[in-house]
Amino acid sequence: MTTLQTAPATLPTPLGGTLVRRIWRPGQDFDPAELAGLPRLELPAQNVADLEMLATGAYSPLTGFVNEADYLSIVEHLRLADGTPWSLPITLAVSREQAERLGGRVVLTHAGQDVGTLDIEEKYLARKAWEAREVYRTEDEAHPGVAALYAAGEVYLAGPVTLFEVPRGEFPRFHRTPAEVREVIEARGWRSTVAFQTRNPIHRAHEYLQKVALELVDGLLLHPLVGRTKSDDVPADTRMEAYEVLLRGYYPQERTLLSVYPAAMRYAGPREAIVHALSRRNYGATHFIVGRDHAGVGSYYGTYDAQEIFSAYTAEELGIRILKFEHTFYCQSCAQMVSPRTCPHDASHHLILSGTKVREKLRAGEHLPPEFTRPEVAEVLRRAYSRS
C-alpha cells in the first residue's frame, strides 16, 4: 500500500538569522539564590509583555530593551543601527531617581513577583516629543500610545533580559512561543502559512480576507493580540470565545491554528504593522495580512498608510510576504462580501457597522445582522455585553 507523504514545512529564517531564546534554564544559567540581594524594578503591563516577546524570540533579533544607537536609528530610519528592519523602539522607561540607583543586574518584577532580569548596559534620556511625532505621528495625548509614552519615566534602560518562565496566562492551551508555533507548523507540513493579527472579534470581512488568503497558502495562523488594549476594546476572553466558536463551525481544522499573541497594543498604526509582520516571520509565517487602518486608532493615520509603509524595505529584507487587502464589506445588491475592487455599487448598497455602532447595538441587546458577523459570534458578544 502506498502512503502519501506530506512535504516538509518550509519556515522562514527568523529575523537576524537565529531565533532568540532568553528563558532561564535550571542548572545552566545563574542560580536564583544569587538574586536575593539585587535591586528590584516593578514593570508595568506593557513592559511585561515586551519582556516575554524579547525572551521568547518573537522580537528577534532583539535580545533586550534597545540601546541609544538602536533607539535613534529605529525612530529616524525604521531600522536598527546595523540596518536590520525594525520600526518600534522597545524601551524600558524609569524615573531619573530610579536610574541613578540602578546598575548592573536588576530583578524585574510584576505584581510583586519576580519575572526576570535585566543586565543594564546603558542609560539614556528619552526624546519623547520627537519619538511621539515620528512613531505615532502626533503629540496629542488623546492618542493612547502617546499618553503612555508621556506618562512613563524620562530615562531608558538598555540591556539583555532573561525571563524566568513563560507566562501562559488566561489561555494556556493557546499560549505558544515562536518556537512552539514553528513546531506545530512543521508537524503539519505547512509549506506556507498566513498570519492574521486581530484585537477585535472576527466579523465577516475578516473571515473573507482569511479565506481568500487560505486559497493561496497551506495554513492560517489566527494570532489574536491578548496583551494590554484600550478599555473600550472587546476583552480578550470574549474575543477568544468568539474565535473558538467560529473556527469550530466554519474553518478547516487541519488548516487553521489559533494561538495568542501576547504583545501589548501601542496603536502606532503603520509602524506597528511592520513589527506585527516581522514578529510573525519569527513565529514561522510566510505571509501576513494587512488590511485597512492596521493597528490604528482614531483618525491619526490614513486608511492604507499601514500598507504603504512596507515600501521602506525590500522583499528580501522583510522575509515575509505582505498581503494587502482593501476595505471589505457586505453588499446587499451583490449579496456577498466584496471590496471596492469587486463591487460596482455605491455606499447605499453596503452594510458597514463601525465599532462604536456595534457596541451600541450590543449594549442595547440588539442582534447583529448575519451579513456582518456569524450568529454564533454575535451571540457570544451579546452575552458578554449583557453581563457588563
Quick one: three-class SS letters along 282-331? Answer: HHCCCEEEECCCCCCCCCCCCCCHHHHHHHHCCHHHHCCEEEECCCCEEE
Low-confidence ranges of the chain (pLDDT < 70): 1-9, 388
Pick the CATH number of 172-387 from 3.50.50.100, 3.40.50.620, 3.90.850.10, 3.40.630.70: 3.40.50.620
Residue 275 is predicted with a pLDDT of: 98
| Measured torsion, CA atoms of residues 158, 160, 165, 170, in degrees rounded to the nearest 10 | 40
Provide the CA 334 distance to its chain's centre, in angstroms: 34
Residue 5 is predicted with a pLDDT of: 45
Give, for 94, the enclosing helix (H) or strand (E).
strand 92-94
**Phi and psi angles of residue 301, each rounded to the nearest 5 degrees, phi first:** -130, 150
Parts of the chain belonging to CATH 3.10.400.10: 32-163
- Number of other CB atoms surrounding residue 58 within 10 Å: 27
Pairing of strands 193-198, 287-290: parallel
Contacts 24+ apart (CB under 8 A), 74-80: 75/127, 75/130, 75/131, 75/134, 75/135, 76/134, 78/271, 78/274, 78/309, 78/312, 78/313
Grid cell, residue 328, equals 471589505
Give, for 171, the enclosing helix (H) or strand (E).
none
Catalytically active residues, by annotation: 199-200
The answer to whether the beta carbons of residues 374 and 246 sit under 8 Å apart is: yes
pTM: 0.94
Smallest CA-to-CA distance from 303 within 321, 327, 274 is with: 327
Give, for 347, the enclosing helix (H) or strand (E).
none
Parts of the chain belonging to CATH 3.40.50.620: 172-387
pLDDT tens digit sequence for 27-86:
777 787 789 899 999 999 999 999 999 999 999 999 999 999 999 999 999 999 999 999
Grid cell, residue 74, equals 529605529
Residues 6+ apart with CB under 8 A from 191: 7, 8, 9, 10, 218
- Structurally, at CATH architecture level, domain 32-163 sits in Roll (3.10)
**Phi and psi angles of residue 124, each rounded to the nearest 5 degrees, phi first:** -155, 160
Provide the CA 267 distance to its chain's centre, in angstroms: 10
Residue 9 is predicted with a pLDDT of: 65
Q: Over the Cα atoms of the chain, what is R_g?
A: 22
**Max Cα distance, the chain (Å):** 73
